[in-house]
Amino acid sequence: MEKLSARRRAYDRTMRTLLWLAGGVTCALLVFMIGYIFFRGVPNLTWPLLSGQTSYLKNTIGILPNIVNTLYIILVAMVIVLPLGVGAAIYLTEYATSHRLVAVIEFATESLAGIPSIIYGLVGMLIFVQFMNLQNGILAGGLTLVIMILPTIVRTTQESLKTVPQSYREGALALGSGKWHMVRTVVIPGAVDGIVTGCILAIGRIVGESAALLYTAGFGLVLNDFMTALHSSSATLTVALYVYASERGETAVAFAIATILLLLTLVINLTAGIAGRRLKRL
Amino acid sequence: MEYGSLENMAASSPERVADAAAVPHRALIKTGGQKPLEVVMHALFLLCGILAVGFVLVISVYLIVSGVPAIRQIGLWNFLSGEVWEPTATTRDPSFGILPFILTSVYGTAGAILIGVPVGLFTALFLSKVAPPKVAKAIHGAVELLAGIPSVVYGLVGMIVLVPAIQKAFHLSSGACLLAAVVVLAVMILPSIVNVSETAINAVPREYEEASLALGATEMETLFRVTLPAARSGVAAAVVLGVGRAIGEAMAIVMVAGNVSNMPSLLTGVRFLTTAITSGMSYAAVGSLYQQALFSIGLVLFLFIMLINALLNLFIKRKKEG
């Protein structure tokens, strides 16, 4: 190989170093984040904390209500958004005949996707809490999240509906199937991997959301049954983390919650990956 | 029976993706309203589609309807260029100037981009061209995990680690300041910058690089003078996406930014457009001018985001064309 000039060799070496440096910084950052959260959080992750409630009288702190609230809000939001989002996506790819309407709906869902969650929180508070008078609670929070994750569901479903070959549809129709029957027996089964992945990603977003929930679901730390929680202020894990960290100075509890959230994120990422691959093979 | 076989057919064929590009013949598939069930389902799906559009309309309309009255009362110019935010002042007239918030959001976002983009872009180049495949795969998973961590967790780590460190380093009375927020934002936008720019870099045709290498350029010269320029629109999209993320983030920075409505400077407590909304909302009485002014801040933020989205669409469209 011919010899490079000193300048070119220096350039090559500097750039190569910078690339490794950037990769190293990103890696270090990640190792630090995860390591630090586990280091501070795992020792505080005790059974009384996980299974108890916060009470001023008994001077206890427990995050069971927040775990339960997180599950409630996932349930409420997904039950509403799943049929709505999948339905909208099916309409867009299977039924819509007007290109203009499709363009408008796609533009709308894309715009929704870029709006920051604090705006959803603001509008959710205005519409659901003040205008519809639902009070702070799981219902208002869940409905706000529905608007927020609708675009995710619509888009992922649409993408996977588009991968179902047109010939399958034509085959089904040629065999005398009606449109809905074709959608139910051919199109949806063929697209189920994308729909499931979209749902898992949406759940991930719900678990990590806080700004949209502060003034819609509220900050309540009391354990309620489902029907009561719908209409009473209920903090999810992320909101509870915020409350404990910045308003109560309970750093240990905050880090314990952060550990749980980190583990949840990891599980959700892995499940989304596996679900996507596994269902595709079915 | 026949439906069962259709299901099998849908699931087991290997050519699912191959046919996806086929143009749908929607007019041919139209079956008309023979069965009531078909008609009902069609209507249901249409309803879902309309609801999706309805939500966007409702959000925009509501933000405008609730944001405009306060701006009218305060005056657009006073609102946007006023330097004092004292919505609850009692000894004198309350003032509603959001210039500090606007500037903080702009500076904070610019700072985060200044740190996050070089690191993110270089990491993307590293992952796609230099790193050994195994290392690249591991870092990839890591970056995805970083992207999924809830923003309050970043806020918490920033609050416990970064804020005291800044306080010690600069001998401040409190380390919660614009600098801390900038660093937290930079870390938060890093994963999306890495992911989007890596996709753009991987999309550059290999022939470009091979031609450059064949002409005697070194690997690094090829990377920075051929690959990167060829991927520039994708990188631009990554930057715009990062700007959108940074300007819309609220919960992570409310914990580290000090939350004082100063005109921004690097080492004093500041308030962003987003954190002004979150922290004001607990104090503002329902229906008061204070609360309406918060909605106006939301409207300003919304317009910022829409502008950024429009830019993003422009980049993506240009990428598709050329």
Kindly state whether B278 is in contact with chain A, defined as any CB-CB distance less than 8 angstroms.
yes
Shortest CA distance from A215: residue in chain B: B281
Find the angle CA(A223)-CA(A227)-CA(A229) to the nearest 5 degrees. Answer: 40
User: Residue B11: what pLDDT?
Assistant: 41
- Please tell me the distance from the alpha carbon of residue A108 to that of residue A72, in angstroms, as a whole number: 28
Give the mean model confidence (pLDDT) for residues B113-135. 91
pLDDT score, position A282 = 55
| Residue B35 belongs to a domain | no
What is residue A258's predicted lDDT score, i.e. its pLDDT? 92
Q: Does B283 touch chain A (CB under 8 A)?
A: no
Is B214's pLDDT higher than 90? yes
Where is pLDDT greater, at B86 or B185? B185
Query: Does residue B70 lie in a domain region?
Result: no
A185 touches chain B (CB under 8 A): yes
Residue B3: pLDDT over 60: no
Determine the average pLDDT of the residues in B240-267: 84
Token couple for B229: 């320029």
Q: How many CA atoms lie within 13 A of A258 on its CB side?
A: 32
Predicted TM-score (pTM) of the model is 0.84
Q: Is residue B254 a contact partner of residue A211, using CB atoms and an 8 Å limit?
A: no
B18 is a domain residue? no
Indicate if the pLDDT at residue B113 is higher than 90: yes
Query: How confident is the model over B260-273, as a mean pLDDT?
Result: 82
Residue B145 lies in a domain: yes
ipTM: 0.87
CA angle at A214 for the pair A210 and A217, rounded to the nearest 5°: 100
Question: Block means of pLDDT (10 residues each) for chain A, length 282 residues?
Answer: 78 90 89 90 83 74 86 92 90 84 78 83 86 85 90 86 88 87 87 86 88 85 79 86 85 89 88 76 56
CA B296 to chain centre: 21
In DSSP notation, A24-72 reads HHHHHHHHHHHHHHHHHHGGG--HHHHH---BTTTTB---HHHHHHHHH
Largest Cα separation within chain A, whole Å, is 80
- Is residue B166 domain-resident? yes
Flag whether pLDDT at B33 surpasses 80: no
The tally of domains found in chain B comes to 1
Q: Which of A108, A116, A251 has the CB atom closest to B160's CB atom?
A: A251
**Are the Cβ atoms of A168 and B274 closer than 8 angstroms?**
no
Residue A11, number of CB atoms within 10 A of its CB: 16
Tell me the shortest Cα–Cα distance from A84 to chain B, in angstroms: 5
**CA-to-CA distance for B100 and B107, rounded, in angstroms?**
10
Is residue B256 within 8 angstroms of chain A, CB to CB? no
Q: Do A34 and B15 touch (CB under 8 A)?
A: no
Name the residue with higher pLDDT: B128 or B280: B128
pLDDT at B123 over 90: yes
Query: Are A266 and B44 in contact (CB < 8 Å)?
Result: no
* Alpha helices by DSSP H, chain B: 2-12, 26-29, 36-74, 76-81, 99-125, 133-148, 151-157, 163-170, 178-202, 206-214, 219-222, 228-230, 232-248, 251-254, 273-281, 289-321
pLDDT of residue B20: 41
Question: Largest Cα–Cα distance in chain B?
Answer: 81
CB B139 within 8 A of CB A27: yes
Q: Which two tokens stand for residue A128?
A: 């659901």
pLDDT on residue B2: 38
pLDDT computed for residue B48 by the predictor: 87
d(CA A279, CA B12): 11
AA identity, residue B135: V
CA-based nearest residue in chain B for residue A172: B6
Q: What is the per-residue pLDDT for A93?
A: 86
Nearest to A282 by CA among A218, A148, A189: A189
Of the pLDDT bands very low, low, confident and very high (cuts 50, 70, 90), residue B153 is very high
Contacts of B142 in chain A (CB under 8 A): 26-27, 30
Instruction: Please give the share of chain B, as a percent, with pLDDT higher than 70.
Output: 88
Q: Which domain holds residue B247?
A: 99-321
When pLDDT is cut at 50, 70 and 90, the band that residue B175 belongs to is confident
B4 within domain boundaries:
no
- Enclosing H/E stretch for B85: strand B85-86
> B45, B62, B253, B300: best mutation site toward chain A, by most A Cβ within 10 Å?
B45
Q: What is the CATH number of the domain that holds B295?
A: 1.10.3720.10
A-facing residues of B in 302-321 (CB < 8 A) are: 302, 305-306, 308-309, 312-313
Residue B79 inside a domain? The answer is no
Q: Indicate if the pLDDT at residue B25 is higher than 60.
A: no
CA–CA separation, A205 vs A236, rounded Å?
13
Burial, B23: exposed, middle or buried (Cβ in 10 Å; 0-12, 13-18, 19+)?
A: exposed
Question: What local confidence, expressed as pLDDT, does residue B320 receive?
Answer: 59
Domain annotation covers residue B184: yes
Interchain contact, A111 vs B306, CB within 8 Å: yes
A186–B10 CB contact, under 8 Å: yes
Q: How far away is chain B from the Cα of A228, in angstroms, using its nearest Cα?
A: 23
Report phi then psi at B204, rounded to 5: -70, 130
Cβ distance A166 to B126 less than 8 Å, yes or no, reads: no
